[in-house]
Amino acid sequence: MFDPKSDLKDALFERARGLGIDAIGVAPVDPALRREYYLAWIADGRHGDMKWMERNNDRRLHPSRVLPEARSIICAGLNYYQPDPDGRGKIAKYALGLDYHDVLLGKLADLCDWIRDHGGDAKPYVDTGPVLEKPLAVQAGLGWQAKNTMLVNSAAGNWLFLGEIFTTLNLPANEPVSDHCGTCSACITACPTDAITAPYKIDARRCIAYLTIEHKGAIPVEFRTLIGDRLFGCDDCLDVCPWNRWAQTTRETALNAKPHPDLREMLGWDDEDFRTHFRNTPVHRLKLSRWLRNICVVLGNIGEQADLPALRKTAARGDPLVAEHADWAIDRIEERLASATL
């Protein structure tokens, strides 16, 4: 039977796939969200320094207030999986290439043009507004939130960037996806810092991704050794998910890993070196001081005698945050060298 809404939705999905979007679905503008859990999580302070998560929650928890004239929320996913490149210091897969905000937002902007050509208005979001993207993606049928709170897609595993389009088109909603984690607890076991405090509960203040990216101050000493060689973010709880067995390497060349110099060389960088190398990548928002902080922590864990001169120069740069972590790294390396000698 001819159904104009379904036919329009099918055409929209076909256009989205033509733009390189790997997963797409539609959620209602007033979906079922875990509002009480989110508010309790904020009240407990488990979001750490991410104060922006405290603001605009009247809209974040009620998507119909984000764009009152919207009738549907289109949720899109872009596969970003690729193997980890070689080199000292791991960068989370999402940050290996160009900034996904720009890459996915460009695709959603093109899709918004298509929507306008077909009689609707549209507004795209990729971490650019008060939107609970993972619960919305669940409602749109893209996957389910796993025990590490990340979205799992049955075809792409953990590896989807998420974006949304609020549109005035009244499109049939997809059915939500049920939880398929079962008794598996691999992500909980894999977390180096026990940030997943219970199934479906995470304390960002303990998470290596938070500590190396969002946290602006000194990394607590109790976590520095546990960070290991993780330079920017952490994929441990994602890597172990059994649903990743079907994951395919991303088709989006803009996300391909960018090569980097060795950690020792980057310790000698100034602001201009950092900005030039990481321009248009997720790492750029970290700025030089926190990047050097992270390098020092990693070298404290995996560094060798040849790294000591560069670390001593770094400790003398005049940046108290960097100096503290450089001194810690020097002490750690010297302790390892002394133990090896004994």
Strand pairing partners for 24? 76
**Cβ distance 252 to 78 under 8 Å?**
yes
Choose among 154, 158, 179: nearest CA to 34.
Answer: 179
**For the chain, domain boundaries:** 4-167, 195-240+258-337
Nearest one of 267, 268, 264, 276 to 305, comparing CA atoms? 264
Instruction: Give the pLDDT means over successive 10-residue stretches in the chain (342 positions).
Output: 71 97 94 68 69 64 78 97 96 97 97 96 88 91 96 95 96 94 97 95 94 96 98 97 95 97 97 98 96 98 98 96 98 94 75
Residues counted in the chain: 342
The catalytic residue among 49, 110, 121, 127 is 127
Q: Which two tokens stand for residue 211?
A: 């500590």
pLDDT of residue 221: 98
DSSP bridge pairs for 26? 74
Kindly report the pTM of this predicted structure.
0.91
pLDDT number for residue 180: 95
Element (H, E) at 77: strand 72-79
127 is catalytic: yes
| Dihedral sign of CA atoms 224, 229, 231, 232 in order | negative
- State how far the alpha carbon of 143 is from the alpha carbons of 94, 110, 182, 273, 315, in Å: 18, 24, 14, 40, 46
Nearest Cα neighbor of 48 from 202, 236, 223 is 202
Question: What pLDDT was estimated at residue 54?
Answer: 62
Query: What is the token pair recorded at 140?
Result: 């749109």
What pLDDT does residue 1 have?
37
Predicted confidence at residue 41, as pLDDT, reads 62
What angle, 0 to 180 degrees and rounded to 10, lies between the N-to-C axes of helices 271-278 and 287-302? 90
Backbone angles phi, psi at 90, to 5 degrees: -95, 135
- DSSP class of 122: E
* Residue given tokens 């989205």 in the structure block: 16
Q: How far is CA 316 from the centre of its chain?
A: 33
User: What's residue 62's pLDDT?
Assistant: 66
So what's the pLDDT on residue 53? Answer: 63
